[in-house]
Amino acid sequence: MAGRRSRAVTISDVASLAGVSIATVSKALNGKDNVRADTRQRVLEAAEQLSFRPNALAKNLLTGQSRTVGLLTSDSAGRFGIPVLLGAENAFGAGEMAVMLCDARGDVIREQHHIRMLLSRRVDGLIVVGESTNPRPSISRDLPVPVVYAYGPSDDADDVSFVPDDVGGAMLAVRHLLATGRRRIAHVTGPTDYKAAIDRAEGVRRELAEAGLEQAGETLFGAWSQRWGRQAAEMLLMAQPDLDAVFCGSDQIAAGFMETARERGRRLPADIAVIGYDNWEVLSAETRPLLTSVDPNLERLGHTAAQHLFAAIDGKVAPGIHTMPCRLVIRDSTAPPGPSPG
Amino acid sequence: MAGRRSRAVTISDVASLAGVSIATVSKALNGKDNVRADTRQRVLEAAEQLSFRPNALAKNLLTGQSRTVGLLTSDSAGRFGIPVLLGAENAFGAGEMAVMLCDARGDVIREQHHIRMLLSRRVDGLIVVGESTNPRPSISRDLPVPVVYAYGPSDDADDVSFVPDDVGGAMLAVRHLLATGRRRIAHVTGPTDYKAAIDRAEGVRRELAEAGLEQAGETLFGAWSQRWGRQAAEMLLMAQPDLDAVFCGSDQIAAGFMETARERGRRLPADIAVIGYDNWEVLSAETRPLLTSVDPNLERLGHTAAQHLFAAIDGKVAPGIHTMPCRLVIRDSTAPPGPSPG
DNA sequence: AAATTGAACTAAAAGGTTTTCGGAAACGTA
DNA sequence: TACGTTTCCGAAAACCTTTTAGTTCAATTT
């Protein structure tokens, strides 16, 4: 509370105390040449004594750069925005960049409002985090600063987007199932209006085709929820009694599937192997057995997007949609099949 | 991309185009007096044509206020920081405030670094979001701006903190169990080094004492996890065969408890009622039966904290730890007991 | 007709920093 | 002493906006 209402200490105060001009203070504090060692020392001591912090507003006004980026999200609450946000904040943390967080909550008006606000604050760049991997309207047109899209790509091919490789992630999962000896593989996933669901189904199709195998039944599209996982399990266990593996489009679906499969007396993973998606640890590390899951590496994606934004601020653009690889986190739910009860 | 590298348009450009002085432009755009209607119109058109956005840096430098608050968290990834953050961002969204997000990731050095950065950017205030409800070291000492602590309170009684009322939340839960006819109530919760666990246990004790009842066994402290919920269920069902209700310290514990209780043949909620804590919808809306849970109203807490920060910026301080009420979200897991299988 | 008023506008200052350029002092050389 | 060189420091401009204190000019009053 001390000094709450007192005027902030400026470079002039430091100059007075040190008995030099403000120019010298500036040079001394910024490590510039042409300042005698003992003068610099005096200045440093004065600055320390007054706990002087240069006014970034003034500096930024002068340089025209705010050393700030805007992070525009439609769904900060979502599980996907946050890791991206963290990765970005991470990448910035090293330098002197700051992140301004704006949540548009899916409202175009609010988004416009935030963009105007950020521009008037002269942010150096913008990261737009989608709430799904579905393409979203571009905002880059006529903006005076570079924009990078993360998770959900822009619908304009000239923009820069970073998205997880859902097709590749699904292929990883199926490949792992095949490698551990599974042959009758089903796929349960989310709604068809999610590009993520479509892409993952395509990955399954592609990898199975490559192995010359048929998929066990059509892909079951539903919701991303545990409930749908349970429901799908009922259907699948009935329709495909010789099923030996299920690849689920989300960890929640997988958790639901496993719950019902256990109840129906299937041994996991001995009878049926299960793979989830997202590697959402609160779930995948709590299921029984522990859930093998595709990790979309979102934090790294956010980090990369932020680094790319830096490059773009420096004028180096690499337009297009960049897909980032996923990794498979192997846990107990895909141990090789066998008669032992695990 | 258009004009990416061209100098930003300033008020002078607008003045030239409109054929007036910059002072007139300022007054016209800010709705001040003494500007003729047609002049104002001309200015507005010129500004529109150039898509002029006043440089907030310059304005802030002049007024000495940045219209920005810093949000300092140790755990943005956590389930608790995010809602608070959203509530705060929400409260600010109405005005022209912006939020700068900084994640210290529990590192004191990093926290100091962020504080210096925020101060040099002349933020108008700070919100510190704890990662648990345990008190945390105060940072307010000698800071030139007001600080409000949310979720985790400051250890300095002169600071302003907003925390959820864990004791009251637990009392709500137990009262509901009593009201629906339960009498043998057990409590399973997290580790003893969490104040939240201690407080909730205290709430249970207090409410049961008020009703003149004994708690069914000692409070079981463990982890916040589903696994611990399962483990505790094994113990409890053995040790307290006539148990008719369990209040769990988290939704995860509750989910684990329910899973095992079902496996052991208990009917939920007919035989045993279960209440969770946090009302984390991804869990509480997916359990079978749907989980009654104490909702700590975190978003509202964040909102209130932000509003209070506004007040503090205007010089109105109300020091102390303010506990915010929880609410009980009643779902199927606490339907009255009975012989029917539900 | 001269003086007063009021409206509409402008010049200039202020805000805190960095940077450029010029000046002064100290020193060495002739 | 006169001159050139080096080293260090300070004055002032620039960044862009808002606000204050005028200034101009026309309309109104005396």
Residues A229-260 have pLDDT tens digits of: 999 999 999 999 999 999 999 999 999 999 99
pLDDT tens digits, A115-145: 999 999 999 999 999 989 999 999 998 899 9
Three-state secondary structure readout of A160-190: EEEEECHHHHHHHHHHHHHHCCCCCEEEEEC
State the average pLDDT over residues A283-288: 93
On average, the pLDDT of chain A sits at 92
* Tokens linked to B227: 């696994």
Q: CA-CA distance, A13 to A155, in Å (whole number)?
A: 52
Q: Quickly give A59 CA vs C18 C1' distance in Å.
A: 7
What is the per-residue pLDDT for B11?
95
Q: Quickly give B22 CA vs D24 C1' distance in Å.
A: 17
Q: Quickly give B15 CA vs D27 C1' distance in Å.
A: 28
Q: CA-CA distance, B207 to A322, in Å (whole number)?
A: 57
B227: chain A residues, CB-CB within 8 Å: 286
Q: Starting at the edge strand that comes first in sequence, how are the strands of the sheet with A327-329 ordered?
A: A220-221, A185-189, A245-248, A273-277, A292-295, A327-329
Residues 20-59 of A with CB under 7 A from strand C: 22-23, 26-27, 29-30, 32, 52-55, 58-59
What is the per-residue pLDDT for A342?
39
What is the per-residue pLDDT for B340?
52
State the average pLDDT over residues A258-264: 95
Nearest CA distance, B194 vs chain A (angstrom): 19
What is the length of chain A? 342
| Percentage of the residues of chain B whose pLDDT score is greater than 90 | 82
Q: Where on strand D do bases come within 7 A of a protein Cβ? A: 7-12, 14-21
| Confidence grade of residue A3 (pLDDT, cut at 50, 70, 90) | very low
Nearest CA distance, A13 vs chain B (angstrom): 16
Nearest of B192, B208, B209, B182 to residue B271 by alpha carbon? B182
Q: Alpha helices of chain A — where are they, by DSSP H?
A: 11-18, 22-29, 37-49, 56-63, 81-93, 108-120, 166-179, 195-210, 226-239, 251-263, 281-284, 298-313
Residue A302 has pLDDT above 80, yes or no: yes
State the average pLDDT over residues A257-268: 95
Q: Which amino acid is at A236?
A: L
What is the per-residue pLDDT for A82?
82
- Is A102–B98 a contact, with Cβ atoms under 8 angstroms apart? yes
Residue B239 has pLDDT above 90, yes or no: yes
| Confidence grade of residue B75 (pLDDT, cut at 50, 70, 90) | confident
| Confidence grade of residue B189 (pLDDT, cut at 50, 70, 90) | very high
Q: Which carries the bigger pLDDT value, residue B161 or residue B64?
A: B161
What is the per-residue pLDDT for B4?
43
| Confidence grade of residue B169 (pLDDT, cut at 50, 70, 90) | very high
Q: Which element (helix H / strand E) includes A71?
A: strand A68-73
Residue pair B253/B283 in contact by the 8 Å Cβ criterion: no
Nearest CA distance, A182 vs chain B (angstrom): 28
- What residues form DSSP beta bridges with A321? A161
On average, the pLDDT of chain B sits at 92
B264 in A contact zone (CB under 8 Å): no
- Is B141–A60 a contact, with Cβ atoms under 8 angstroms apart? no
Q: CA-CA distance, B181 to B258, in Å (whole number)?
A: 19
What is the per-residue pLDDT for A8?
85
Residue pair A322/A150 in contact by the 8 Å Cβ criterion: no
Residues 230-269 of B with CB under 7 A from strand D: none
Residues 38-97 in A contacting B (C-alpha not used; CB under 8 Å): 51, 53-58, 60-61, 64, 66, 68, 71, 76-77, 82-83, 85-86, 89-90, 93, 96
Residues 120-159 in B contacting A (C-alpha not used; CB under 8 Å): 120-122, 140-142, 144-146, 158
Nearest of A119, A76, A68 to residue A309 by alpha carbon? A68
A56: chain B residues, CB-CB within 8 Å: 120-122
Residue A172 has pLDDT above 90, yes or no: yes
Q: Which carries the bigger pLDDT value, residue B232 or residue A65?
A: B232
Q: Which carries the bigger pLDDT value, residue A143 or residue B337?
A: A143
| Confidence grade of residue A2 (pLDDT, cut at 50, 70, 90) | very low
Chain B's closest residue to A319, CA to CA, is B1
State the average pLDDT over residues A42-47: 95
A23 in B contact zone (CB under 8 Å): no
Which of A92-106, A322-336, B151-165, B233-247 has the lowest average pLDDT?
A92-106
- Closest C1' nucleotide to A38's CA: D8
| Confidence grade of residue A6 (pLDDT, cut at 50, 70, 90) | low
Residues 209-248 in A contacting B (C-alpha not used; CB under 8 Å): 225-227
Residue B58 has pLDDT above 80, yes or no: yes
Q: Which amino acid is at A22?
A: I
Q: Quickly give A34 CA vs D4 C1' distance in Å.
A: 20
B30 in A contact zone (CB under 8 Å): no
Three-state secondary structure readout of B28-59: HHCCCCCCCHHHHHHHHHHHHHCCCCCCHHHH
Q: DSSP letter for B337, please.
A: P
State the average pLDDT over residues A300-315: 94
Nearest CA distance, A341 vs chain B (angstrom): 18
State the average pLDDT over residues B35-39: 92
| Confidence grade of residue A89 (pLDDT, cut at 50, 70, 90) | confident
What is B67-108 written as a DSSP string? Answer: -EEEEEES-TTSTTHHHHHHHHHHHHHTTT-EEEEEE-TT-H
CB crowding B275-309: b at 16 or more within 10 Å, else e: bbbbbbeebbbbbbbebbbbbbbbbbbbbbbbebb
Q: CA-CA distance, A168 to A329, in Å (whole number)?
A: 14
What is the per-residue pLDDT for A39?
93
Residues 38-97 of B with CB under 7 A from strand C: 39, 58, 61-62, 64
B32 touches strand D (CB under 7 A): yes
Q: Starting at the edge strand that comes first in sequence, how are the strands of the sheet with B147-150 ordered?
A: A320-324, A160-164, A147-150, A125-129, A68-73, A98-103, B98-103, B68-73, B125-129, B147-150, B160-164, B320-324
State the average pLDDT over residues A37-65: 94
What is the per-residue pLDDT for B339?
63
What is the per-residue pLDDT for A177?
98
Residue pair B90/B33 in contact by the 8 Å Cβ criterion: no
Q: DSSP letter for B136, please.
A: B
What is the per-residue pLDDT for B77?
63
B51 touches strand D (CB under 7 A): no
Q: Quickly give B120 CA vs C2 C1' distance in Å.
A: 59
Nearest CA distance, B213 vs chain A (angstrom): 34
Q: Cα(first)–Cα(last) distance of chain A, in Å? A: 62
| Confidence grade of residue A340 (pLDDT, cut at 50, 70, 90) | low
Residue B98 has pLDDT above 70, yes or no: yes
